[in-house]
């Protein structure tokens, strides 16, 4: 297990507070877009692959085997596997993930069925286990007011957090909910976000909270850096946090995938 160093002044990245374009009805109904489930079960696995796996093409084969599960596992509403675009915090750099898997489910039993499905077990045994130096996994039920559909080409920021001693995770969830409502509003123009308390601590390395913010492109994600509302929200949440891990990835990015 990688030892994550403490961060004296943790920063929760909240690009989600920027007003983004509401996804169109066509985009939300597209077969290549994650279904707009009202309260999806989010599942993330961060994988640090062996350098030789990236060089030999084994990492690319791992990604392909995980992506193929979309046609093999019932109840799997959405899945993306691919490389990490960039690590955005000291905790992310210490953890060192190079790849990740993101999947969604309508209910917890669907996630349990996916974990036990022979196709998933086979992919893990044949491609993930031999090529991974380390893995971190978190799961949460989306506590946001709106779904956060993900389309090809989207840029996604993942934030995992540990709360300070004496702080309830439920309080952080509520504070983030109120911050997103206040800054972005609910309804037309609301940001596409998902966040909640991690309910699978066994492989989470102490991370208790997860959040994703979905943008139409990397340019849209980068445009929110330094936004006044974002900085205000960070300042309000910082006293609750002990350690924060932030990374970005792009969904179905051919150029990135080809470089594996």
Q: Which residues contact 194 (CB under 8 A, 6 or more apart)?
A: 40, 42, 140, 142, 144, 147, 148, 211, 212, 214
Q: Is residue 34 predicted with pLDDT exceeding 90?
A: no
3-state SS assignment for residue 200? coil
> Across-strand partners of 105?
41
The residue that leads in pLDDT, 186 or 64, is 64
- The predicted-structure confidence for 175-221, as pLDDT tens digits, reads as follows 999 888 876 643 343 458 999 999 999 999 999 999 999 999 999 99
What average pLDDT does this structure show over 127-137?
98
Model pLDDT, residue 12 = 53
Determine the Cα–Cα distance for residues 209 and 158; give it in Å rounded to an integer. 11
Determine the Cα–Cα distance for residues 54 and 46; give it in Å rounded to an integer. 15
């Amino acid at each position: 297990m990688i030892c994550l160093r403490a961060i004296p002044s943790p920063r929760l990245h909240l690009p989600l507070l920027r007003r983004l374009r509401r996804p169109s009805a066509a985009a939300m109904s597209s077969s290549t877009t994650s279904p707009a489930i009202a309260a999806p079960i989010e599942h993330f696995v961060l994988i640090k692959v062996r350098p030789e796996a990236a060089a030999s093409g084994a990492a690319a084969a791992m990604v392909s085997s995980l992506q193929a599960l979309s046609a093999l596992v019932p109840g799997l509403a959405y899945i993306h596997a691919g490389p990490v675009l960039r690590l955005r915090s000291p905790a992310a750099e210490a953890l060192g993930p190079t790849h990740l898997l993101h999947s969604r489910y309508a209910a917890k039993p669907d996630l349990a069925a996916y974990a036990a499905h022979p196709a998933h077990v086979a992919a893990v045994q044949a491609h993930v286990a031999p090529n991974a130096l380390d893995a971190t996994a978190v799961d949460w039920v989306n506590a946001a007011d709106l779904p956060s559909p993900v389309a090809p080409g989207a840029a996604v920021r993942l934030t995992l957090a540990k709360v300070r001693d004496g702080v309830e995770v439920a309080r952080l969830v509520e504070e983030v909910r109120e911050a997103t409502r206040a800054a972005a509003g609910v309804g037309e123009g609301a940001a596409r976000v998902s966040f909640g308390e991690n309910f699978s601590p066994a492989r989470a390395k102490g991370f208790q909270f997860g959040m994703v913010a979905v943008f139409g492109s990397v340019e849209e994600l980068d445009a929110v850096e330094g936004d006044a509302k974002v900085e205000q929200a960070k300042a309000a949440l910082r006293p609750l946090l002990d350690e924060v891990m932030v990374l970005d990835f792009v969904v179905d990015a051919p150029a990135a995938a080809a470089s594996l």
